[in-house]
A and B are shown apart, each in its own frame.
Chain A
Amino acid sequence: MGEEKKIEEKRKEIKITPIKQGTVIDHIRKGQALKVLRILDLIDKDIDFIVSVAMNVNSSMGKKDILKVEGLELVNEELDKISLIAPEATVNIVRNYEVVRKHRVELPKMAKGIVRCRNNNCISNQNEPLIPEFEVVGKDPVTLKCEYCEREMRGEKISDNVI
């Protein structure tokens, strides 16, 4: 039994190796890590960083995804955008292998340029020069209301429509 536990601990270490400096986003809903990455829009950042993704990881609360960004400390404002599809996510900012700051993502009041409206007849889906914008009208489940057509979307519909 003790041996098995040791092996399990070892496995866990391998899967989720600590980072020296950067951002670890934990408790992402399973299957959402790549969309979280897309929302964070890191690719254009002119900084040397490494992203590693762990998906479908066992945890006491069921399956989850984990995202690590080594070499880049994300600010709360950027991180809060992911709350639209990963409202339970927790963020650890790591320096020299130590967690120096913890942050629980918070829903913003407005979501601009993150998701598109699910209503095909909405003016925001017609090649007009605009950035899709939503008011966050509900927390559990996260509910967004289009600023243009007022159609609401929640849950999976939100992650399906990430830009």
Chain B
Amino acid sequence: MYEGFKKDHVVRIKDFTLDEMSTVFDLAEKMIPVAEGKKKNDDLEGKLLATLFFEPSTRTRLSFEGAMKRMSGSCIGFAEPGTSSAKKGETLADTIRVAAGYSDIIVLRHPHEGAAQLAANFSDVPIINAGDGAGRHPTQTLLDLFTIKREKGSISGNHIGIAGDLKYGRTVHSLTNALSMYDTELTFISPPSLRMPDEITDALGRKGIEHKEVDGIEDVLDELDILYMTRIQRERFPSEQDYEKVAKTYLIEKHMLEDEMCKEDLTIMHPLPRVDEIAADVDLTSHAKYFDQAANGVPIRMALLKLLSEG
């Protein structure tokens, strides 16, 4: 039925072809009225989703369970490891084989990197990686790309600024890798100590993707179509003072977006939760799309659940 999608599992964004991503986006677009509760859908009636969350992530879990239930499916699972048999010393491989016997599809979040790959090796039913350690979080990347596509009509052709902790942030690494499949211009905005790792910028260079690095948001704000903000974490700095100094310069406030300081249709995104990066007064401007971005997580996950369960 969906010839463009040939996956048994969703483990990492790198495994996706452009065709597969566009199949996911097209289906997600159709699912929006269902995600918003405006249209009924029973595509997954009688199907059971197991959400195995070995570390808590309320937003990701709720959006998967919401997506499943909007399509008339049901959910089982746990939200933290204290309630699972992992505490008794069971291997993940065994937990997955047991859960695969109980359910039609498994969503896994796990503190160890590569856990989703292991799960995929042992499972008879599709695995969706909902974050494994500091590793991958492919559904976040898909919803980020989907948001850009919805806001701008296409992903290619945009100048995208990615700001914040670019050294350690897994969301931005995954997003940058995925954006390199499209024809975009990228600007990385970070303090020198939190620059994008060389292996990622080198890969962009090899693919011929234009990119530059700057220290401050205002150095490039007026050129951007998209500004993707992320959190800078206190623990990355030697002292509270050092953190405060940097944090202040990575704050977007409404007055920075006035007159001709940025493009009229600049889109501001953020994977949330935000702390100090975006002032509350920005929420009411037309630039603020981070809550729409979070909401886009539901149709994207609906599309994936449907594609995998029918595959």
Which A residues are within 8 Å of any B CB, using their own CB?
A: 119, 121-124, 126-130, 146-152
In chain A, what residue has the closest Cβ to B119? A123
* CB of A120 to closest CB in B, whole Å: 10
- Residue contacts A-B, CB under 8 angstroms, 7 given: A121-B113, A121-B133, A123-B114, A123-B132, A124-B114, A129-B91, A151-B113
A121 touches B93 (CB 8 A): no
A127 touches B135 (CB 8 A): no
CA of A148 to CA of B132, assembled, Å: 10
A130 touches B118 (CB 8 A): yes
What residues of B have a CB within 8 angstroms of the CB of A152 in the complex? 199
- Taking A122-B112, A123-B113 as contacts, is the C-beta distance between A149 and B133 under 8 angstroms? yes
Which B residues are within 8 Å of any A CB, using their own CB?
A: 12, 91-93, 110-115, 117-118, 121, 132-135, 199
In chain A, what residue has the closest Cβ to B14? A150
* CB of B170 to closest CB in A, whole Å: 11
* CB of B199 to closest CB in A, whole Å: 8
> Per a CB cutoff under 8 Å, which of B92, B134, B199 touches A123?
B92
Is chain B's binding surface mostly helix, strand, loop or mixed?
Answer: mixed
B115 touches A130 (CB 8 A): no
In chain B, what residue has the closest Cβ to A125? B112
A126 touches B135 (CB 8 A): no
What residues of A have a CB within 8 angstroms of the CB of B112 in the complex? 121-123, 126
- Taking A121-B133, A149-B135, A150-B135 as contacts, is the C-beta distance between A127 and B91 under 8 angstroms? yes
B135 touches A130 (CB 8 A): no
In chain A, what residue has the closest Cβ to B199? A152
B91 touches A150 (CB 8 A): no
> Per a CB cutoff under 8 Å, which of A129, A130, A148 touches B113?
A148
* CB of A155 to closest CB in B, whole Å: 16
* CB of B244 to closest CB in A, whole Å: 30
In chain B, what residue has the closest Cβ to A147? B117
9 closest A-B pairs by CB: A148-B114, A149-B113, A149-B114, A123-B114, A123-B112, A123-B115, A123-B118, A148-B117, A128-B91
* CB of B207 to closest CB in A, whole Å: 16
A128 touches B113 (CB 8 A): no
CA of A151 to CA of B134, assembled, Å: 11
B118 touches A128 (CB 8 A): yes
CA of A47 to CA of B290, assembled, Å: 67
